[in-house]
Amino acid sequence: MMSSHHNPNPHVVLFPFMSKGHTIPLLHLARLLLRRRRGVAVTIFTTPANRPFFSKSLSDVLHSISLIDLPFPENIPGVPPGIQSTDKLPSMSLFPPFAAATKLMKPHFETALNSLPPVSFMITDGFLGWTLDSANKLRIPRLVYFGMSYFSSVVSRSVTSAGLIVKTNGDDEPFTVPDFPWLSVTRNDFDAPFRDREPKGPLFDFVMEQMVATVNSHGLVVNSFSDLEHVYMESYNRNSLLKSWPVGPLCLAEPPRKNPPENQESPSYIKWLDQFHEQGKQVLYVAFGSQAEISPEQLEEIKVGLEKSAVNFLWVVRTHESELRADGFEHRVKNRGLLVREWVNQREILAHPSLKGFLSHCGWNSVLESICAAVPIAAWPMMAEQHLNARMVVEEMKIGVRVESSDGSVRGFVKAEGVEKAVRELMEGEIGKNARKKVKELSDSAINAVKEGGSSWLKLGELIDEFHAKMINNPQ
């Protein structure tokens, strides 16, 4: 490597995991780094199949960023050839072999790092724990990015360290969180392997491997901000040896488009929303993320619930058209409902003046995007830590309503009546009205956090300065 004395400006390496929900926040962080410190160099690692998405997302700042492709492993057992992102996997059951295969990228990663000018620090996804060994080998501090809230992190830690998952009898039996006695959760609020009484298998092994790599790294970069999670952030910092930097909401690095670029039409779904705005009508946005696997039976209940609710809605569906039963649904709701089967700009939709509510799976990115757009949430968690996020949305932040299952279980089947009730309450009810007021206050706080002088703005500056100073004082 070149001597650090030839590189007075900070140089940051970012390496997102191959999944849209993990990638997008780190692309936003790249923008924030460029904006936060004049002269900063940013290098981002990706794979050939994912590069077009990176290039398109960063098209206006690509001249200031280095993108490096690493060959993605081939012949992964069970994974169809050519797939280089989890949102294209035929089933999330293939996640463990897909994630484990990324380790084969290590020699290519190290060769590429060796060819770069000195690196102040790297931020790699929590699912890429193997990058710690590469970072240590090349004497580059590795920081970890997990797309989780402080809330879900500290609640999970409190419950697991007290062994409450093992001690609880029923899946839906409420118990108190030891460090936060005002909180009550159930075993069903946790996903595998954390909810398993005797966790084992490839997923558990993978998770443990990443946790070991995380605690041996130099810190955690968190997509959150102080005003949103102050109590939980303080708890994390008190009880963890790993320093954390809350630098979010990262999505605010890229202001939503108000108008399409010159010579480019607005997407059809935005034109559809424009029509409703012109008519003074308000719309519900429905989306469950890029990973959720929803059964055909559950999809039917969503359809019936939305139809009965009589609200206007824009529903982004991942499922192939043939999986939605051809029963005339789209024709019946054509004057007030639109089904979209393409990749959408979610922030652009949420920022639209016609939007009044979001029926969401409560992925952390979606929660933050909803807050930033001041749109309340009907919470319907599906997987990972989304059940904890949903509790935070409804019970802690009070910016939404919960979609209730037919048997009251946290993970139970939701009938059409449950969808209709939650949607109506969010769009027309008193709880929805209060949630709208509260989310507007949080939206203002989020915007202030990333402004010059805001809490996240200051934290990002501290992060850059601390690790760049170490590099200058300890040349690689």
* Proportion of the chain above pLDDT 70, given as a percent: 95
- Beta-bridge partner residues of 221: 145, 245
pLDDT of res. 141: 96
Give CA torsion, residues 267, 306, 430, 407, to 10 deg: -130
Pairing of strands 142-145, 220-222: parallel
pLDDT at residue 4 greater than cutoff 60: no
Kindly indicate the confidence band of residue 2, based on its pLDDT and cuts at 50, 70 and 90.
very low
CB 69 within 8 A of CB 46: yes
Kindly indicate the confidence band of residue 1, based on its pLDDT and cuts at 50, 70 and 90.
very low
- 199-256 pLDDT, tens digit per residue, is 888 888 888 899 999 999 999 999 999 999 999 999 999 988 899 999 999 999 976 6
Token digits of residue 300: 């039917």
**Dist CA 44 CA 25 (whole Å):** 13
Calculate mean pLDDT across residues 1-18. Answer: 75
CB 387 within 8 A of CB 191: yes
Of residues 328 and 49, more confidence is placed in: 49
pLDDT of res. 257: 63
Residue range(s) of every CATH 3.40.50.2000 domain in the chain: 4-151+192-253+449-473, 268-446
- The domain covering 268-446 belongs, at the CATH homologous superfamily level, to Glycogen Phosphorylase B; (3.40.50.2000)
Over the chain, what is the mean pLDDT?
90
pLDDT of res. 321: 47
Kindly indicate the confidence band of residue 101, based on its pLDDT and cuts at 50, 70 and 90.
very high
- 47-61 pLDDT, tens digit per residue, is 999 999 999 999 999
CB 447 within 8 A of CB 255: no
Calculate mean pLDDT across residues 435-443. Answer: 97
Kindly indicate the confidence band of residue 93, based on its pLDDT and cuts at 50, 70 and 90.
confident
Calculate mean pLDDT across residues 124-143. Answer: 96
pLDDT of res. 265: 82
Kindly indicate the confidence band of residue 450, based on its pLDDT and cuts at 50, 70 and 90.
very high
Kindly indicate the confidence band of residue 323, based on its pLDDT and cuts at 50, 70 and 90.
low
Between CA 96 and CA 106, with CA 100 as vertex, the angle to 5 degrees is: 160
CB 152 within 8 A of CB 362: no
Of residues 168 and 10, more confidence is placed in: 10
**Dist CA 452 CA 247 (whole Å):** 12
pLDDT at residue 388 greater than cutoff 90: yes
pLDDT of res. 5: 44
Select from 207, 201, 233, 205 the least CA-distant residue to 220: 233
Token digits of residue 378: 């009907």
pLDDT of res. 150: 96
Kindly indicate the confidence band of residue 3, based on its pLDDT and cuts at 50, 70 and 90.
very low
Select from 277, 286, 343, 290 the least CA-distant residue to 314: 286
pLDDT of res. 202: 86
Pairing of strands 175-177, 180-185: antiparallel
* Proportion of the chain above pLDDT 90, given as a percent: 70
Token digits of residue 176: 């108190």
pLDDT at residue 76 greater than cutoff 80: yes
CATH hierarchy code of domain 4-151+192-253+449-473:
3.40.50.2000
